[in-house]
């Protein structure tokens, strides 16, 4: 029985905490889940000018939602969000750990101690804070799920065309997220599934719609696209669709890392045609047993 059918039969609607949801990918995830009848607690901290648009976007689904302002890098911020969601809705079923802070080299230049700490604490510590606080609530309901949103920076680092986009701390922080994903899958089992969605270049994240993308010249942007097998950047709705699958449908998937990057990590090099070769039909090749071998 799917989620919508359960709710039509009167079961209590499930609840998701969606971090970093005031705009972009986070908001698209919250909208997608709301369309499935999931009540959402949306967290935000920056870009307060986008709050009215976020609320308007959520109201169209006529599903109860809650917006909470909190600094998730602080344990008290995570406690504020989880407590507010539990008080408002009475349960928590899903945690979408969509919170990070990237440090584009072309934007920030060389690291300062403050920038390094902000990248790590937002990308790793904030996820840990939310998970630890939410886990007891998630454990109460079989079928609960956590999705950690991460970046392919943890795989490619400062190499190739992405070297202008992914900086040192951001790369190591996203590699750390994969370690947390595996550990949390063990902690959450069997009630809670924990998976990771590893993003490549998307609009509003690493790609178009970001300040850093606008600072790259046309040749640099094209190099990133050419290095991506599907020859384009991703769309926010494609992330939301993948999150919905991991959250509501992939009931036997846990501890997994799904790479949603259009093939960037495989590189833009194409497979060459197989050559004809030089061995003639019937010609002996390696592995032929000789009379000397039989002796």
For 188-218, write each residue's pLDDT tens digit. Answer: 999 999 999 999 999 999 999 998 899 999 9
Classify the C-alpha dihedral 55-57-60-63 as positive or negative.
Answer: negative
- Band of pLDDT at residue 287, cut at 50, 70 and 90: low
pLDDT of residue 247: 98
Mean pLDDT, to the nearest integer, of 227-231? 95
| 2 has pLDDT over 70 | no
CATH fold for domain 11-261? Rossmann fold (3.40.50)
Q: Edge-to-edge, what's the strand order for the sheet holding 94-97?
A: 65-69, 39-44, 15-18, 94-97, 144-151, 192-199, 257-260
Residue 272, CB-side half-sphere exposure with 13 Å CA sphere: 3
The answer, yes or no, to whether residue 1 has pLDDT greater than 50, is no
51-65, 95-109, 238-252: least confidently modelled range: 95-109
| Whether 258 contacts 266, CB under 8 Å | no
Scanning 60-197, the segments in alpha helix (DSSP H) are 75-89, 105-108, 113-120, 126-138, 153-156, 168-188
The pLDDT, as a whole number, for residue 289 is 53
Q: What is the pTM for the complete model shown?
A: 0.89
Higher pLDDT, 279 or 43: 43
- What does the block give as tokens for 23? 């705009």
pLDDT at 119 over 80: yes
DSSP-derived secondary structure letter, 274: P
Nearest to 222 by CA among 152, 164, 161: 161
- What pLDDT, on the 0 to 100 scale, is given for residue 3? 47
């Amino acid at each position: 029985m799917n989620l919508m059918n359960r709710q039509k039969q009167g079961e209590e609607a499930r609840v998701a905490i969606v971090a970093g949801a005031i705009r972009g990918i986070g908001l698209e995830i919250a909208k997608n889940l709301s369309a499935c009848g999931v009540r959402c607690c949306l967290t935000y901290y920056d870009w307060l000018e986008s709050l009215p648009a976020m609320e308007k976007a959520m109201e169209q689904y006529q599903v109860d939602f809650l917006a909470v302002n909190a600094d998730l890098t602080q344990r008290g911020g995570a406690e504020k969000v989880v407590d507010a969601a539990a008080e408002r809705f009475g349960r928590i079923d899903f945690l979408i750990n969509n919170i990070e802070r990237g440090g584009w080299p072309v934007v920030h230049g060389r690291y300062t101690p403050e920038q390094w700490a902000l990248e790590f604490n937002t990308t790793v510590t904030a996820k840990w804070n939310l998970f630890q606080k939410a886990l007891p609530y998630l454990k109460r309901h079989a079928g609960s799920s956590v999705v950690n949103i991460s970046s392919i920076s943890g795989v490619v680092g400062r190499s190739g065309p992405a070297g202008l986009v992914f900086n040192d701390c951001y790369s190591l922080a996203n590699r750390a997220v994969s370690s947390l994903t595996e550990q949390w899958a063990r902690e959450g089992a069997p009630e809670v599934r924990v998976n990771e969605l590893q993003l490549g270049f998307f609009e509003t994240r690493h790609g178009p719609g970001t300040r850093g993308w606008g600072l790259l010249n046309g040749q640099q942007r094209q190099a990133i696209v050419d290095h991506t097998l599907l020859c384009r950047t991703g769309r926010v709705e494609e992330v939301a669709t993948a999150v919905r699958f991991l959250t509501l449908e992939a009931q036997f998937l846990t501890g997994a890392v799904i790479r949603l990057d259009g093939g960037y990590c495989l590189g833009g090099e194409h497979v060459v045609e197989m050559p004809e070769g030089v061995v003639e039909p019937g010609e002996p090749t390696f592995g032929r047993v000789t009379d000397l071998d039989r002796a």
